[in-house]
Structure 1
Amino acid sequence: MRSWRRPARENGGAEVPDPQLPPPIGIDRPGSFSRSVFHERHPVLVANLLADFPYPPHVAEALEALLAESLAGDVPARTPGGPEIHTWHLEVEAHAGRPWESLPFLWAESYFYRRLLRAVEYHHYDSPWCGVDPFAPQKHAQLDGPELRADLDAYAALRGAGAADRRRALLLAALWGNQADLGFRTNNPGADTSAGDVLVDDSEALWELAEAPGDAPVIVVADNAGREITADLALVDHLLETAAGPVELHLKPHPYFVSDATGQDVVATLAALDRDPHQEVRDLARRLRDAVRMGWLRLRTHGAYVHPTDYRTLPADLAAEFAAAKLVILKGDLNYRRLVGDLQWDPATPFAEAAGHFPGPVAALRTAKSDLAVGIDPARLAKLDAEAPDWRLTGTRAVIQVHA
């Protein structure tokens, strides 16, 4: 197994670059997408939080101070509070004193959101803001929005579709549902959300693995709440019908990036489906609840899903779960970055080379919303770069990639 760095527990938290792998994507290059996340997206994000909640002055000041530090400061030595504190202590110890702009993009973005939760006192048990999801208003707005209404109308219309057409529609809905990422839309509210080009389509390999005989689980690692988790739940419902074993839906243990899905978001989504005028949609919610009660659908989480590291440093227990699964389906851009490593890959690098470290069969459903890309046919890549140089960032290209 190749790794960009050894696990922190083995080296006291210090990064050890692997010379076999490309360097990490950073946030220091002017004009880069990663830099724009900090200089364009995060200021809008903080302004939205201050508009959505009547935070007291000290919370507002903490948010503004975090924003200023992330744009022109250094990483302080203190460890942010909350769960997984030992991991965060080692990670911060390894980066303390470094200018933010010198940090790897994935690490810096994860650290920013961890510090944001501290600023809004999400983990402060003696604060009235403890447990208040700072992104809940944006998530709930999407559950009540016209785009989800159209999605559910389309789902209800599938009742007369043939089995193959229905299966294809559910998979594509889960794939393109990742366009609803609220972080992506924070400073890009007019983003195109129509289905675009699927650059790599390993869907038949995905179904062959997911529907193979045996009682090992299929694991779906969720990404975002709102429209995306709704589409994911419809796909999970289909897998419960066609896969021989149970299905696990893995969620974040607490809010992470703007719209990352938690258990609370699943509950809110099922409640929204219960209110839908279509009987088919209400039946979907009922079947999912019954599946949870019977143990066929297992809702799971793990602290590793909110670590600032990629999947090359998986904790042993989660790695063992992945290895025992029939298939792990990773949803979205963030899970993709963590799977292949948020590195400066040549986009023509085979997916198997970048994802070969994963402990079991894995499928990635990802719409492209960052500079990272792997597994793209060189001829297709040349055409994309010539005709749409920003194709990696717009959310209108997607991949279904499988490595077994």
Structure 2
Amino acid sequence: MGCAGQASPCPIQQVRDAFPYGRRQHEALDALLDEITNGVVQPLAPADHDHERWTAWGQEHFGRSWYDVPFLWAESYFYRRLLGAVGYFGTGPWQRADPFAPFKQAELRGDAVEEELQALDALASVPAEERATALLHASLWGNRADLGFRVSAGEPAVADAAVPVLVSDDSATLWQLLPAGTSATVAVVADNAGRELIPDLVLIDHLLAHGHAERVVLHVKPYPYYVSDAMTADVVDSLRRLIEASGEAGRIGGRLWKAMAAGSLEVRTHPFFCAPLPYEEMPEDLRKECAGATLTILKGDLNYRRLVGDRLWHPTVPFAERTAYFPRAVAAFRTLKSDVIVGLEQGTLDSLQRSVAAWRTSGTHALIQVRP
């Protein structure tokens, strides 16, 4: 969470500094920080709209130190409490005001995004297969998307060229599931807004424009989660950023806007996406949605942990084994930022362990894993 250990900037202080909140919000944020640092996990107030839901999810954890509860649960509950502290769910003037919006907007309007959008012009004239690979890698690398947009850039360099940057690559299987001319429905579960969501949208445009999907459903968070997770408002902001751009980026934005109007691109959300639960426990309505999709693509590190189980598996445990419960074909796009990983070949694992000290968490390696 970046507060207790201060390994990264504390979201509480970031949010406090980014908005002219009043005394009530400042006191609530200070109390939350003190609780995390010195106290025990407190339940939501009985009047809170989701009190019963979190009581069920957290009954084993309330009254314990924040340091002693499962990390996945603590992360989710922390951001729920942060929203409560700033009045996001209340009836006052800060109702539904995204406390992370300034950070998302700064990234979306930054020079890096402008360069990446301009780089799309060069891709417009390359063969479709080559362009598809570049866009797939752009979506994979997320906030390092410029490495994927440029066909000539390839993958980011690491110290040992013998160690693959893509530790697992099932992209060929993905394209086999989505041949051109198919009537497929693809579900994409988004991760971050800004520099990650834009390449996701560009990839979605490619799937639709080249007949790899007849329909795409983009799933986003129902409320602010972590600092940069995407919501519907972030999708709209990203589409506007594309449309305002010149060249190929603007044309992509225009196609996506029309696709939403026509229903071939749909944005949806579900409370489960902010739940501290693994996908194995997804509710029946969401399970039916995934069962109805030809392929569900889960983006990012947190979705990966929820997909395979947030525990330290042996890295060679098969990805198909850990995702056997998923109702239909599933793919994971993920840069490695936590210790959880499955589906590696023993030779790849040996090379990584010999050559790269922090390969699991440094963000310098990535994977595309698919279970047909």
TM-score w.r.t. structure 1 length? 0.83
Equivalent pairs, count = 356
Matches within 5 A, 1:89-128: 89-125=55-91, 127-128=92-93
Look up the match of 1:236: 204
Task: Tell me if 1:164 matches 2:129.
Answer: yes
Look up the match of 2:234: 265
Amino acid at match of 2:98: D
Task: Tell me if 1:401 matches 2:369.
Answer: yes
Which moved further from structure 2: 97-106 or 193-202? 193-202
Look up the match of 1:375: 343
In percent, how many aligned pairs have the same letter?
46
Task: Tell me if 1:152 matches 2:84.
Answer: no
Cα contact 2:291–2:328 (8 A) shared by 1: yes
Look up the match of 1:223: 191
Cα contact 1:79–1:92 (8 A) shared by 2: no
Task: Tell me if 1:39 matches 2:8.
Answer: no
Amino acid at match of 1:400: I
Matches within 5 A, 1:5-404: 38-41=4-7, 44-79=10-45, 84-125=50-91, 127-179=92-144, 194=156, 197-211=165-179, 215-241=183-209, 242-276=211-245, 278-404=246-372
Amino acid at match of 1:138: F
Rate the CA distance shift 1:65–1:194 in 2: closer, same or farther, 3 A: farther
Rate the CA distance shift 1:103–1:80 in 2: closer, same or farther, 3 A: farther
Following superposition, the deviation at residue 86 of structure 1 comes to 3.5
TM-score w.r.t. structure 2 length? 0.90
Amino acid at match of 1:377: E
SS at match of 1:261: coil
Deviations along 1:147-171, one digit per CA (max 9) or x if unpaired, are: 2122112212111110111000110
Which moved further from structure 2: 351-360 or 64-73? 64-73
Deviations along 1:320-354, one digit per CA (max 9) or x if unpaired, are: 11011100000111111110111111112111122
**Matches of 2:219 and 2:202, distance apart in 1:** 15
Following superposition, the deviation at residue 215 of structure 1 comes to 3.6
Highest relative contact order (Cα 8 Å, sep 6+), 1 or 2?
1
Amino acid at match of 2:307: L
Question: Which structure 2 segments of 5+ residues have no match?
Answer: 146-154, 159-164
Cα contact 2:190–2:219 (8 A) shared by 1: yes
Following superposition, the deviation at residue 50 of structure 1 comes to 1.7
Amino acid at match of 1:255: P
Cα contact 2:189–2:220 (8 A) shared by 1: yes
Rate the CA distance shift 1:153–1:101 in 2: closer, same or farther, 3 A: same
What is the root-mean-square deviation in Å for CA atoms of aligned residues?
Answer: 2.1
Which moved further from structure 2: 391-400 or 54-63? 54-63
Following superposition, the deviation at residue 72 of structure 1 comes to 3.1
**Matches of 1:207 and 1:81, distance apart in 2:** 49
SS at match of 1:317: helix
Following superposition, the deviation at residue 64 of structure 1 comes to 2.2
Following superposition, the deviation at residue 179 of structure 1 comes to 4.7
Rate the CA distance shift 1:392–1:83 in 2: closer, same or farther, 3 A: farther
